[in-house]
Amino acid sequence: MLEALLRLPPGPVDLTALDPAATPGLDGGGKTEGKAALAALGDPLADLQERLFAEGRADVGHGRAVLLVLQGMDTSGKGGVLRHTVGLVDPQGVRITSFKAPTDEEREHDFLWRVRRALPEQGYLGVFDRSHYEDVLIARVRALAPVEEIEQRYDEINAFEAEVLGAGTTIVKCMLHISADAQRERLQARLDKPEKHWKFNPGDIDERARWSEYRQAYEIALERTNTEVAPWHVIPSDRKWYRNLAVGTILHDTLARMAPQWPLADFDVEEQKRRLREEVPVR
Amino acid sequence: MLEALLRLPPGPVDLTALDPAATPGLDGGGKTEGKAALAALGDPLADLQERLFAEGRADVGHGRAVLLVLQGMDTSGKGGVLRHTVGLVDPQGVRITSFKAPTDEEREHDFLWRVRRALPEQGYLGVFDRSHYEDVLIARVRALAPVEEIEQRYDEINAFEAEVLGAGTTIVKCMLHISADAQRERLQARLDKPEKHWKFNPGDIDERARWSEYRQAYEIALERTNTEVAPWHVIPSDRKWYRNLAVGTILHDTLARMAPQWPLADFDVEEQKRRLREEVPVR
């Protein structure tokens, strides 16, 4: 239900019309209820993820995997989602990739090259902290590639994601939507606390001056890549607890729909029990 | 202290002399106390790991990283350590690699090739679930390579690990030591519970029949790769709670000795505060 509320409808996107401080689907519940709800989500989410992992290990899941794509402005909370939401499941089944500015080697290839290499194997929950969307976001705002090339990338992304889905990986795309005011407060907090200085970069303020350009780049990207097979969710993220809960719920509901099952034994269980019972003493 | 107790002394190794059900360093504390101690370790461990990660991001840690190598017989609890101990820290800063039987591509290269590719980047806690040690363990027991080649690998491993350390990565090697009886119970439990069948493989019982050969292979490997720069710890692992606590404590103490610090700002904090205060309104 919450997932349906946050799923971006097809058509033009106006982020200014979406309140980053809203808490859709929570019927007036606040921070306390939200944190309790996230904690309560832990076990069911971990159970579903373990079943998916088990399917992958047993090679009975038809190659299924999940890829969570996290995008959002600086300070929108990608790291917080990793810690508080992704941190709820067994790290053994999780593969996180943080995409930074491309390296020289990466630059020599197509923009999707490094992304393909980071796709989750069967059974895994892959998480992209930033992603191929940077190549139509900062790349557009900062003109890091010719306009015609960027224009082509939206279609390339859609084709790529359809191919990934075809290979069995369900893609969950979440745009963490914060207000410019919330970002200022968070940057301020990073400046105020010495143990947060490492998270701050003076360039963050330069990028911030282009807030509306980034917003427009997001609006274009969201509209053009909001496909049936890999739709976008816009997560109101001014409230951290809501953001963590919302992403967790979407992840949970996605896994629940996939309904991964404990693999059936591909061996005779009774025979193996007998072997173990009758074995020569081992020491 | 616990770390010193579990650190393997130099010289010949006799695993039969090390009790897998022991709980060294705990002064008679049991499961309840052990679980509480692990929970209490969570915050300090996560704090140290985040500092290491921060150093890496800020590029002020001289390339430092940590690599936790987990080895042990089937059911010894490598997965349990990943979930309960490694799961205590922010998954954003963790990179887990599970080494399986080498792929065709991996087989075309030197046995350390795939291991090098999986080394943690600076700031990260890398975890190897099995490792290059398989190439002197199962490879030895199952004669997967010529004897002379395996004989050379111990020195190659030592040279490799010294090189890794030289590049800034502290290696923490833990052998999860279980008894044959504990393994039988755990295999039995996997057979008894349908949701654990995926973890069972009939081949596990075949390997079990070679228990003493594996033990000897471990003893040789432990002795010959128990270097000053990358010593082994033998973790009594018949009690899961002790195993998780022991690995967590060793990891914590290792990080504490590295003493990662919050990076100092490489910018003028006051100037950035002023910029943020005086910026043109952003929307």
Residue-wise pLDDT for A179-203, tens only, equals 999 999 999 999 999 999 999 999 9
State the SS3 of A80-115: HHHHHCHHHCCHHHEEEEECCCCCHHHHCCCCCHHH
**In the 8-state DSSP scheme, what is residue A228?**
S
d(CA A153, CA A217): 13
Q: Is A54 on the interface with B (CB under 8 A)?
A: yes
Indicate if the pLDDT at residue A204 is higher than 80.
yes
pLDDT at A158: 98
Q: Look at residue B1 in the predicted model and tell me its pLDDT.
A: 80
Q: Evaluate whether residue A39 is within a structural domain.
A: yes
Between B54, B98, B275, which is nearest A198 by CB? B54
Q: What is the pLDDT of residue A43?
A: 97
Inter-chain residue contact A91 with B87, CB threshold 8 Å? yes
Q: What band does B26 get if pLDDT is binned at 50, 70 and 90?
A: confident
In the beta sheet, which residues pair with residue A72? Answer: A176
Residue B264 pLDDT > 80: yes
B82: amino acid identity, one letter: L
Cβ-nearest to A267 among B54, B79, B202: B202
pLDDT for the residue numbered A45:
98
pLDDT at A282: 83
CB count in 10 Å sphere of residue B247: 28
Percent of the residues in chain B that have a pLDDT greater than 70, as a whole number: 100
Q: What's the pLDDT tens digit per position in B197-224?
A: 999 999 999 999 999 999 999 999 999 9
> Which domain covers residue B207, as residue numbers?
2-278
Q: pLDDT tens digits for B102-112?
A: 999 999 999 99
Computed on alpha carbons and rounded to an integer, the radius of gyration of chain A in Å comes to 21
Amino acid of residue A117: R
B13 touches chain A (CB under 8 A): no
pLDDT of residue A231: 98
For residue B161, name the pLDDT band (cuts at 50, 70, 90): very high
ipTM score: 0.94
Per-residue model confidence (pLDDT) at position A27: 76
The rounded distance, in Å, linking the Cα atoms of A5 and B258 is: 47
Residue B29 confidence (pLDDT) above 90? no
pLDDT for residue A249: 98
Is B114 domain-assigned? yes
CATH of the domain at A90: 3.40.50.300
Chain-centroid distance of CA B130 in Å reads 8
Would you tell me how many other CB atoms lie within 10 Å of the CB of residue B278?
7
- A residues 163-182 lying closer than 8 A (beta carbon) to B: 180
Counting the structural domains of chain A, the total is 1
CA–CA gap between residue A55 and residue A260 (Å, rounded): 7
From A95, A129, A272, residue closest to B205, measured CB to CB:
A272
Burial profile A42-68: b = 16 or more Cβ within 10 angstroms, e = fewer? eeebbebbbbbbbbbbbebbeebbbbb
- Reported as half-sphere exposure (CB side, CA atoms, 13 A), residue B54 has a value of 21
Interface test with A, best of B78, B92, B199 (most A CBs within 10 A): B92
Which tokens hold the place of B259?
């003493």
Q: What is the rounded CA–CA span in Å between residue B83 and residue A43?
A: 13
* Closest listed residue to residue B175, CA positions, set B133, B117, B116, B112: B133
d(CA B273, CA B283): 19
* Structure token digits, residue B219: 């003893």
Question: CB of A188 within 8 Å of any CB in chain B?
Answer: yes
CB under 8 Å to A70, separation ≥6 — which residues? A78, A81, A82, A127, A128, A129, A130, A131, A174, A176, A247
- Residue B281 has what pLDDT? 84
In a domain, B250, yes or no: yes
Domain membership flag for residue B283: no
Encode pLDDT of A70-95 as tens digits: 999 999 999 999 999 999 999 999 99
Q: How many CB atoms lie within 10 A of CB A97?
A: 18
A283 belongs to a structural domain: no
Whether B184 contacts chain A with CB within 8 A: yes
Q: Which of B190, B172, B147, B188 is nearest to B229 (CA)?
A: B172
Q: B204: part of which helix (H) or strand (E)?
A: helix B202-208
Distance from CA of A85 to the nearest CA of B (A): 10
For B46-82, the three-class secondary structure string (H helix, E strand, C coil) is HHHHHHHHHHHHHCCCCCCEEEEEEEECCCCCHHHHH
- Determine which helix (DSSP H) or strand (DSSP E) holds B173, and give its type and residue range: strand B169-177
pLDDT at residue A211 in the model: 96
**Of B167, B101, B97, whose CA–CA distance to B127 is shortest?**
B97
CB B128 within 8 A of CB B70: yes
For residue range B235-260, list pLDDT tens digits in order.
999 999 999 999 999 999 999 999 99
Structure tokens at B244: 């998780």
Q: Which residues in chain A are contacts of B269 at CB distance < 8 A? A: 191, 197
B125 phi, psi to nearest 5 deg = -100, 105
Burial zone of A252 (CB within 10 Å; 0-12 exposed, 13-18 middle, 19+ buried): buried
Confidence of residue B48 (pLDDT cuts 50, 70, 90): very high
Q: Helix, strand, coil shares of chain A as percentages rounded to 5?
A: 55, 10, 35
Nearest to B282 by CA among A34, A182, A2, A167: A182
Residue A283 in this model has a pLDDT that exceeds 80: no
**Residue-averaged pLDDT of chain B:** 96
**Residues B190/B199, Cβ–Cβ less than 8 Å:** yes
Q: A38 Cβ partners below 8 Å, 6+ apart?
A: A84, A85, A88, A241, A244, A245, A248
Q: Is residue B41 part of a domain?
A: yes
Please judge whether A272 and B200 are an interchain contact, meaning their C-beta atoms are less than 8 angstroms apart: yes
b/e burial code for range A182-194 (CB count within 10 A of at least 16 → b): bbbebbeebbeee
Exposure string over B157-193, b if 16+ CB within 10 A, otherwise e: bbebbeebeeeebbbbbbbbbbbbebbbebbeebbee
Is there a contact between A279 and B208 if contact means CB atoms under 8 Å apart?
yes
Q: Cα separation of A101 and A234, whole Å?
A: 24
* Nearest one of B49, B267, B234, B264 to A205, comparing CA atoms: B267
Separation between Cα atoms, residue A197 and residue B270, nearest integer Å: 12
